[in-house]
A = this chain, B = another copy of it.
Amino acid sequence: MTEASKRRLRLGMVGGGEGAFIGEVHRFAARLDDHYELVAGALSSQQEKAERSASALGLARSYVDFDDMARQESEREDGIEVVSIVTPNHLHAAVAMAFLKRGIHVICDKPLTATLEQAKALYQAAEDSQAQFLLTHNYSAYPMVREARAMVKASKLGNIRSIQVEYAQDWLTEPLEQTGNKQAMWRSDPAQSGIAGCMGDIGSHAYQLACFVADTKAETVLADLSRWGEGRQLDDEANILMRFNNGAKGHLWASQVAPGNENALRLRVYGEKAGLEWSQESPNELIFSPIGLPRQSLRRGNSYLSDAAANTSRIPAGHPEGYLEAFANLYREFAQQLIDDTRSDDLPSLSDGLHGMRFITASVHSSQNNGVWTPLTD
């Protein structure tokens, strides 16, 4: 999308008040390419905090209740066209349904919901709506991830045999949730996070990334989840064996208790003809290893890349793009999709979110059964 073709969509936000992390990320992402104007929000369920937050952001309209917001905005001539949902997981389903049923498009943070049941209900509800839905699996919008996916689709790797994906962090090595840290508190609380901790927070990203690049889905998983942090009720680490519908096998490691790892999401895909490696912390590079030839460092911004990378890139090679740019790619592409009323295969959908919840659920169940192969079905 050139700058010339754009128009600004009226955007609302639910969640993301003072002190929130992901809400601010969504706002950066919405702003970067100037396709959205944030005009309304239910930034907090506490009235005072909601108003203070809205005022700080210069929002035209502040709400406390998301349902009020959905109703009132849908009735206004200048009401929001899109809403971003950046609450804890347990609210995603209800909020999304409130807006979808009134024809307002939804951008929703991951995981889709707190439980598979919620996910199914939401999926059902959305079938009746004309509104579109974007799940912000932002890592799949990095240019070199898009290039990787394009290479797999173009058979540069041959049949895929093996997938190694990992997402390691260290911020929960110590029981941070007991020290008043808000980010740690809701993520480790089953009531807000859902049935999974680490698996929902980052394991879901790792799984989506693997499927997105290797153009496949797991059919069955075998999981060993752990709770290392003292008193922790949800998993903070997972080792998961996977078997995919294209015949590939793989392993996913997710951990929030691995000292020295900040946000170490890393994917490796191996086929009959070549291998690919990508690391989120060095996102402008993709390592391509064709059998019998030197490893190549493919780098964002170069003319030897495909459109998949070029279309999601803003500045020349060697000028590093990062997390916010990748996140903004989702917002930019979704804007284009809404304006043109098209659907892109590259944007994570409600259906992907439902599948992600099946993955989380199957992993939890497998682990509860001491590690048995568990299919990704209801």
Seen from chain A, the residues whose Cβ lies within 8 Å of a Cβ on chain B are 2-4, 8, 21, 24-25, 28, 31-32, 34, 52, 56-58, 161-162, 164, 166, 169-171, 173-174, 222, 224, 226, 228, 237, 239, 241, 249-251, 253, 255, 257-264, 268, 270-275, 277, 280-284, 287-299, 301-304, 314-325, 370-373
Inter-chain contact B170/A263, CB cutoff 8 Å: no
Q: How far is the CB of A181 from chain B (nearest CB, A)?
A: 12
Inter-chain contact B322/A320, CB cutoff 8 Å: yes
CA distance A293 to B299 in the complex (A): 10
Q: How far is the CB of A242 from chain B (nearest CB, A)?
A: 9
Q: How far is the CB of A290 from chain B (nearest CB, A)?
A: 7
Inter-chain contact A270/B241, CB cutoff 8 Å: no
Given the complex, which residues of B lie within 8 Å of A297, measured CB to CB? Answer: 294-297
Given contacts A162-B237, A275-B261, contact A292 B303 (CB under 8 A): yes
Q: Which of A57, A263, A280 has the most CB of B within 10 A?
A: A263
Given contacts A3-B24, A21-B316, A28-B32, contact A304 B299 (CB under 8 A): no
Inter-chain contact B304/A294, CB cutoff 8 Å: yes
Q: How far is the CB of A149 from chain B (nearest CB, A)?
A: 18
Q: How far is the CB of A334 from chain B (nearest CB, A)?
A: 18
Given contacts A57-B3, A262-B318, contact A241 B371 (CB under 8 A): yes
CA distance A222 to B264 in the complex (A): 25
Inter-chain contact B291/A277, CB cutoff 8 Å: no
Inter-chain contact B304/A253, CB cutoff 8 Å: no
When C-beta atoms are compared, the residue in chain B nearest to A230 turns out to be B272
Which of B273, B280, B319, B322 has a CB less than 8 Å from the CB of A259? B273
Given the complex, which residues of B lie within 8 Å of A319, measured CB to CB? Answer: 263, 322-323
CA distance A239 to B251 in the complex (A): 7
Inter-chain contact B291/A174, CB cutoff 8 Å: yes
Given the complex, which residues of B lie within 8 Å of A164, measured CB to CB? Answer: 166, 253
Known contacts A3-B24, A222-B224, A260-B287, then 16 further A-B pairs from the complex at CB < 8 Å, ordered by chain A residue? A161-B257, A162-B228, A173-B272, A241-B371, A260-B270, A260-B274, A260-B295, A262-B302, A263-B317, A263-B319, A281-B318, A315-B323, A319-B322, A321-B323, A322-B322, A322-B325
Given the complex, which residues of B lie within 8 Å of A3, measured CB to CB? Answer: 24, 56-57
Given the complex, which residues of B lie within 8 Å of A166, measured CB to CB? Answer: 164
CA distance A164 to B316 in the complex (A): 25
Inter-chain contact A262/B299, CB cutoff 8 Å: yes
Inter-chain contact B325/A324, CB cutoff 8 Å: yes
Given the complex, which residues of B lie within 8 Å of A290, measured CB to CB? Answer: 259
Given contacts A28-B32, A162-B237, contact A259 B318 (CB under 8 A): no
CA distance A273 to B161 in the complex (A): 36
What are some 13 contacts across the A-B interface (CB < 8 A)? A25-B315, A31-B34, A32-B324, A170-B275, A222-B224, A228-B272, A264-B318, A281-B320, A292-B304, A294-B298, A296-B297, A297-B297, A320-B322
Query: Nearest 10 pairs between A and B by C-beta?
Result: A260-B289, A263-B318, A262-B318, A4-B56, A320-B322, A322-B322, A259-B275, A294-B296, A260-B275, A319-B323
